[in-house]
Amino acid sequence: MAKEEKAKSAQPAMKYSRVQIAGLKKGRRGKHHDLVRGILGELKSAPATSALEIPLEDVGGIGLAKLRSAVHRAASAEGVSIETLADEKNFYVWKRPASK
């Protein structure tokens, strides 16, 4: 019986350290965080009748699909409803008009 108790209490050495969950930042900060934050910041202050025109050559080599996805994900997280459009040179984003 003593051998069983000893076997149960012996734990293998920890490979990873432990941290308190309360001290962890829970937000997502992806590669395009600064770019997307800048776009959303300008979009929030833009009039509802205008779109932001973002030159694709100025986004640091990010593909259109990844840029669109990142902007939509961030806007959704902040409760901002948006629409997007793109041509060969620019990415456009604007606030979706409120439903009546």
Residue 16 within a domain: no
Strand runs (DSSP E) across the chain, as ranges? 52-55, 82-86, 90-95
**76: domain CATH number?**
3.30.1370
Record the tokens describing residue 50, joined without a space.
Answer: 């205008």
Q: Is the dihedral of CA 64, 58, 53, 82 positive or negative?
A: positive
Residue in 69, 38, 72, 66 with CA at minimum distance from that of residue 54: 38
Radius of gyration of the chain (CA): 23
| Residue-range definition of the domain harbouring residue 75 | 29-100
What pLDDT does residue 22 have?
A: 84
Residue 10 within a domain: no
Residue 22 within a domain: no
What pLDDT does residue 87 have?
A: 95
Residue 21 within a domain: no
What pLDDT does residue 68 have?
A: 95
Residue 45 within a domain: yes
- pLDDT tens digit at each of 100 positions of the chain: 555 555 566 778 888 888 888 887 766 677 788 899 999 999 999 998 999 999 999 998 889 999 999 999 999 999 999 999 999 999 999 999 876 5
Strand partners, 92: 53, 85
User: pTM, whole model, 2 decimals?
Assistant: 0.69
Residue 17 within a domain: no
Residue 5 within a domain: no
Residue in 43, 47, 45, 48 with CA at minimum distance from that of residue 91: 43
Which residues fall within 8 angstroms of residue 62, CB to CB, at 6 or more apart?
Answer: 32, 35, 70
The amino acid occupying position 15 is: K
* Number of compact structural domains in the chain: 1
